[in-house]
Amino acid sequence: MRPVDEYHRLQHPYDYQPLGALECVKLWAASPRNRIDMAELTATLKAEALSMGFESVGVCRALPTDHMDFYQGWLGRGFHASMDYLVRHVELKSDPQALLPGAKSIIAVALNYHQENPAVDGHPHIASYALGWDYHKVLRGKLKRLAAVIERDYPGSESRACVDSAPIFEREYAHLAGLGWFGKNTCLIDSKRGSWFFIGLLLTTVEFESDAPALGGCGTCRACIDACPTGAIVFDDGRWQVDSRSCISYLTIEHKAEIAPELAAKIGSWTFGCDVCQEVCPFNQPRESQPLRAQPTIEAGFLAKRSWPRLEQIGVLDEDEWDRLTQGSAMRRTGINGIRRNARINIDNQRPNPASKSLNAEGVLSSKPSVEPGTGSTLG
């Protein structure tokens, strides 16, 4: 018999009936064993999450945070660039209750995606997170399994999985749940594991025991700041921030227009996203005392790398080939025109003579093909 059932039986010796899950939760709130039972409940939940392949899991309360003031300042400086949807979602981000009314806890999980990802001449250089299957699908599938466990154990409870696309401060709640702290590159860093992990959140109407926020810091380290090819990590309003307008990840994924030549030249070989600020981070360098840092992922979906054609072919991809290559991939986000543009920039950046770079009349890298369609050979 569960402790809470035993407590209930002693309180109701003549009309005892086994308790349902929700009645258990209510009774725990009044029970002298509340803290012990809540800790056991949460430990069971975390064990379930870890058994699904997550590297770490934590819990925080589903309440508004003080992150909104900073976020609005970041938007006010224009650091969001052309991502206007971030402005439209401000009100929704202000309170988790907007996503799941009655939510009491937020379960934050981390899933490692790290794998070796060297640049190869003539081939697209893709950020590590996008090498395999779309992380939205992989994480959401696991979170739905975790939600099913909670809803099985607590009939009548509700849950909502959030993976990157939902209007919620994912990194902030993951920080509050103890998964990591904010680095100068604004990535969430786990002192033991580094930053090569995805964040997923599961909002639930069941209350679990909250963890303490993660503690840590970069100290005087400037590795990511000095290594950023475009200088996108800037100090403003008392903290380090990323100005998306010059961030390679933004430029190669979210930016839909042509890219100014002074920025395009600094993109180098990156075709989709950028890993530089994580590659140079000391917390991503394994050492004897920290063996968990930069461990390779064992998630099959992330290891299922796509076979991409050479840059010359990508620069003139047709719609059918694009659709085939990007099915189930996060790379679909950039769109066919974006990936063509990026491939041509990569090709131009490989040319030894800057005068040979393809500029349009406005002095911007041209979106016209720099390879002859159908030949796969560079012009000029």
Residue 372 has pLDDT above 90, yes or no: no
Identify whether residues 39 and 24 lie together within a single domain: no
Can you give the pTM of this predicted structure? 0.84
- The pLDDT score that the predictor gives to residue 352 is 80
Identify whether residues 23 and 139 lie together within a single domain: no
Number of domains in the chain: 2
Identify whether residues 271 and 202 lie together within a single domain: yes
Give a yes or no: residue 342 inside a domain.
Answer: no
- The pLDDT score that the predictor gives to residue 309 is 97
* Residue 370: pLDDT band with limits 50, 70, 90: very low
Residue 10 has pLDDT above 90, yes or no: no
Identify whether residues 23 and 79 lie together within a single domain: no
Cβ pair 193, 56 in contact under 8 A: yes
Residue 379 has pLDDT above 60, yes or no: no
Give a yes or no: residue 339 inside a domain.
Answer: no
- The pLDDT score that the predictor gives to residue 156 is 96
Identify whether residues 11 and 154 lie together within a single domain: no
Give a yes or no: residue 356 inside a domain.
Answer: no
Identify whether residues 52 and 151 lie together within a single domain: yes
- Asked about 164 being catalytic, the answer comes back as yes
Final residue before a domain boundary, out of 265, 287, 308? 308
Active-site hit among 5, 95, 153, 164 = 164
Identify whether residues 146 and 94 lie together within a single domain: yes
Identify whether residues 25 and 39 lie together within a single domain: no
Cβ pair 194, 106 in contact under 8 A: no
Give every CB contact of residue 155 below 8 A, 6+ residues apart in sequence. Answer: 20, 21, 22
Residue 17 has pLDDT above 70, yes or no: no
Identify whether residues 10 and 41 lie together within a single domain: no
For the purposes of burial, counting CB atoms within 10 Å of the CB of 279, is it exposed (0-12), middle (13-18) or buried (19 or more)? middle
Residue 355 has pLDDT above 80, yes or no: no
Give a yes or no: residue 46 inside a domain.
Answer: yes
Type of residue at 80 = H
Final residue before a domain boundary, out of 284, 308, 332? 308
Instruction: Dump pLDDT digits (tens) for 183-229.
Output: 999 999 999 999 999 999 999 999 999 999 999 999 999 999 999 99
- The pLDDT score that the predictor gives to residue 154 is 95
Identify whether residues 138 and 183 lie together within a single domain: yes
Give a yes or no: residue 326 inside a domain.
Answer: no
Identify whether residues 173 and 198 lie together within a single domain: yes
Final residue before a domain boundary, out of 293, 308, 323? 308
Share of the chain above pLDDT 70, in %: 83
Q: Would you list the DSSP string of 142-158?
A: HHHHHHHHHHHHSTT--
Give a yes or no: residue 353 inside a domain.
Answer: no
Give a yes or no: residue 43 inside a domain.
Answer: yes
Domain that holds residue 137: 33-308
3-state secondary structure of 225: helix
